[in-house]
Amino acid sequence: ADPRPALSALRALRRAGLPVRRLFTDRWRESEVALAPTVSVRRIREILGPRAVRVESTGFAIHLMDARAGKASALEHALRPLGLRLADAAVLGDGDNDVEMLRAAGWSGSFSSGSARARAAARFVSRAPFAGGFVEGLKASGVLR
């Protein structure tokens, strides 16, 4: 994905006086900007308006990226050379940034410890949280027996 929309959005937030701070791990990101979650996503979206940028929160970071980017489009891109479609994929996710992918895949699961939006988007929700939920999800999807 093109990092320019995210970088432009970051400059706009700073010009607006929003106290945004890039995460230390942001230096290794090539297609997005990751911010410390010190400002509300709603306020960021208000300032950015109709820009072609996606704003997502994982709880650990706020991500600014090209509006065409995201886990669903990345998965679709990865599947295409294999002759597969999103409907052929089984995915697991636990955060708000996974919702689009969870809705798009043929089979999707989340964990009892996942965000409310991720759990609502998934076709399967584990009883176990965290790693136990991951294993439970792999079994429910048929990937692991």
What is the domain partition of the chain in residue ranges? 4-66, 71-141
pLDDT digits (tens, 9 = 90+) for 87-119: 999 999 999 999 999 999 999 999 999 999 999
Nearest to 35 by CA among 15, 52, 14: 14
Please determine, looking at this structure, whether the domain spanning 4-66 carries the CATH number 3.90.1070.10. yes
pLDDT digits (tens, 9 = 90+) for 111-132: 999 999 999 999 999 999 999 9
CATH number, span 71-141: 3.40.50.1000
Same CATH fold assignment for domains 4-66 and 71-141: no
Nearest to 26 by CA among 61, 53, 55, 52: 61
Report the percent of the chain where pLDDT is more than 70.
Answer: 100
Please, which residues have CB within 8 angstroms of residue 66's CB and are 6 or more apart in sequence? Answer: 1, 2, 3, 4, 5, 6, 31, 32, 52, 53, 54
Q: CA–CA separation, 13 vs 10, rounded Å?
A: 5
